Amino acid sequence: MSDSSRDTAEGAGWGTTERGAYQRLMPPKTEKISWLNPRMLWIARNGVLASWFGDPTGGTRSRWVAQRAASGAPADKVIRRDDPDRFSFLVIGDTGEGDDPQYAVVPGLLSTGQDTRFAVLASDVIYPVGSADDYDTKFFRPYRDYRAPIYAIPGNHDWYEDLGGFMRVFCDDAPPLPPEPRPRPLTRAWLRSLLWHRPGPDDGRRLAEARGQRSAPAQQAVQPGPYWAIDAGPVRIIGIDTGLLGTLDAEQGAWLREVSRGPRPKILVTGSPLYVDGRCEPCAIEGGGTVDAIVRDPDHHYVAAIGGDIHNYQRYPVRLDDGRMLQYVVAGGGGAFMHATHTIPRVNVAGVTEQDFRCYPLRGDSLAFYSRLYGRRLRMRRFFTLTEAEATAVIAERLGIRPTRAPGASTRVTRRVRLVAGLLGTGRRPDKAKRFRLPVRKIYTSLFSPGSATYSPPFFKCFLRLDVSPESVRLRCYAATGNRAQEVDPPVEDEVTIPLR
């Protein structure tokens, strides 16, 4: 097994290494998504409109679900498979930018997942707005050689065109919804409808041709809607749709409570992680209650909750009051630009401490990555750029923890290193945090997203493989840096065995 980032800097992808062969899989021309581009922000405006003028996602989702029920989808939305008691599957989150970081994941995913029974895409299948025509280069082409079915749950970006493209691809080519009556003038809904982004009249014209890239019978998967459950071997995998704003409507909440009942061990896959960046985000349900309360209920027998949306890997092993250990995982590193981990403060949440917490990329690698990005963007490379050893050392100093990977005896934490770390939002110990400190992470990831800048390794992407048996689930996080060494032999960045009994 090759070195991981926890072992060596080379295992993280730093240094002079041979670039991977993933570019051979890519189309000749790729769209470069930049969240600094005003046009990109404008077409992705529906999330902002929903927060200002009311979120229509619940109503639209109910219409999609009703349409699928009328066409014969199972009323309980359960996909019943014939997998044996011992099988494996993949989870990949936030994939669809269609550029180097997404395709860099593919070689390792294919080699590591060649014996898996199916895969699940967790959130944001297609950027920027879920258009049907974008599925060609952002779904069908990258995964054309994965020989098993792929199921998916939508993320907020898939909802920016009212989920039309997603439903056509994953839900038996569901036809468009009929138009709704126009809202009364001068209401919030009327204002929202005036500005709402909708798909173009010709969207999807290339979809039939694109489907040919995953046309083998063994690759086909039809799901009953944007949320579903899969009975596979000894476990039930439940996928929920958190829409534009990371919440559940009352109808989906009632369904979730129903399919969660019973002694069968369960794994939740969600578009919004329940634990992330050192805090709990329980995910509200319209009408009362939270997704996390359902997951924690001992009568429901959940063993893990895996969420996309945040573009990195994190794991929080939470010990519940009844003694069970529940693994909360963030797994959104499947292709989109990297969200920082160095901004995560020293972890102390729900009994989980730094000793238990795991993340990828390591905070030091994240800080070094962002320092290089800012050095290029601001044309201040000599000032901003930190070596991975400097970044690792200053992280250990600011958080008061032992470095995961030793930075070397000659590494000095200078004033410049501390200043750069502070400017880039590096986390602190809770007792050292300042109440008036700006939410730096949100500011700089909004204004200086690396989405248009990460076209050379290391990319710090990842995917999960879960090996299921009647006794346990073995969860492994595999890295994809874009370098040849990690492409040939993907390193395991984290591993945990979850008992089912």
* CATH at residue 185: 3.60.21.10
What's the confidence (pLDDT) of residue 450? 55
Q: How confident is the model at residue 93 (pLDDT cuts 50, 70, 90)?
A: very high
> Are residues 158 and 53 located together in one domain of the fold?
yes
> Are residues 277 and 324 located together in one domain of the fold?
yes
Q: What is the pLDDT of residues 60-79, one digit of tens each?
A: 999 999 999 999 999 999 99
> Are residues 120 and 90 located together in one domain of the fold?
yes
Task: Let me know if residue 425 belongs to a domain.
Answer: yes
Task: Let me know if residue 261 belongs to a domain.
Answer: yes
> Are residues 431 and 465 located together in one domain of the fold?
no
What's the confidence (pLDDT) of residue 30? 83
Task: Let me know if residue 297 belongs to a domain.
Answer: yes
What's the confidence (pLDDT) of residue 326? 97
Task: Let me know if residue 491 belongs to a domain.
Answer: no
Query: Could you tell me if residue 243 is left (phi over 0), alpha (psi between -120 and 50 degrees) or otherwise beta?
Result: left
> Are residues 428 and 321 located together in one domain of the fold?
no
Task: Let me know if residue 168 belongs to a domain.
Answer: yes
Q: What is the pLDDT of residues 162-218, one digit of tens each?
A: 999 999 999 999 999 998 888 899 899 999 999 999 988 888 888 999 999 999 999
In the Cβ-directed half-sphere of 492, how many Cα atoms lie within 13 Å?
A: 10
- Contacts of residue 415, defined as CB under 8 A and 6 or more positions apart, other chains included, come to none
Is the omega angle on the peptide bond into residue 298 within 30 degrees of 0, that is, cis? Answer: no
> Are residues 269 and 372 located together in one domain of the fold?
no
Task: Let me know if residue 108 belongs to a domain.
Answer: yes
d(CA 422, CA 212): 50
What's the confidence (pLDDT) of residue 48? 93
d(CA 439, CA 104): 31
- pLDDT (mean) for 227-235: 98
Task: Let me know if residue 217 belongs to a domain.
Answer: no
What's the confidence (pLDDT) of residue 100? 93
pLDDT at 441 over 50: no
> Are residues 71 and 177 located together in one domain of the fold?
yes
Q: How confident is the model at residue 55 (pLDDT cuts 50, 70, 90)?
A: very high
End-to-end CA distance of the chain: 30
228-232 and 78-80 strand pairing? parallel
> Are residues 330 and 393 located together in one domain of the fold?
no
Q: How far is CA 32 from the centre of its chain?
A: 19
What's the confidence (pLDDT) of residue 456? 82
With beta carbons less than 8 A apart as the criterion, state whether 101 and 337 touch: yes
> Are residues 289 and 166 located together in one domain of the fold?
yes
What is the domain count for the chain?
2
pLDDT at 236 over 70: yes
Beta-sheet strands, E only, within 258-402: 266-270, 275-276, 279-280, 302-307, 313-319, 325-331, 348-349, 352-353, 358-360
> Are residues 320 and 377 located together in one domain of the fold?
no
Q: What is the pLDDT of residues 350-395, one digit of tens each?
A: 999 999 999 999 999 999 999 998 898 889 999 999 999 999 999 9
What's the confidence (pLDDT) of residue 453? 53
Task: Let me know if residue 48 belongs to a domain.
Answer: yes
Least confident of 34-38, 224-228, 432-436, 480-484: 432-436
Q: What is the pLDDT of residues 405-422, one digit of tens each?
A: 877 767 899 999 999 999
Tell me the CA distances in angstroms from 211 to 92, 100, 138, one per residue in order: 20, 22, 12
- Mean pLDDT rounded to a whole number for the chain: 92
Structure tokens at 459: 């990319």
pLDDT at 431 over 80: no
Q: How far is CA 386 from the centre of its chain?
A: 27
Burial (Cβ within 10 Å: 0-12, 13-18, ≥19) of residue 81: middle
What's the confidence (pLDDT) of residue 35? 76
> Are residues 463 and 437 located together in one domain of the fold?
no
d(CA 333, CA 314): 10
- Contacts of residue 421, defined as CB under 8 A and 6 or more positions apart, other chains included, come to 342, 367, 386, 391, 394, 395, 398
With beta carbons less than 8 A apart as the criterion, state whether 298 and 333 touch: no
Q: What is the pLDDT of residues 266-324, one digit of tens each?
A: 999 999 999 999 999 999 999 999 999 999 999 999 999 999 999 999 999 999 999 99
What's the confidence (pLDDT) of residue 437? 43
With beta carbons less than 8 A apart as the criterion, state whether 273 and 235 touch: no
Burial (Cβ within 10 Å: 0-12, 13-18, ≥19) of residue 306: buried
Domain that holds residue 435: 363-448
> Are residues 43 and 165 located together in one domain of the fold?
yes
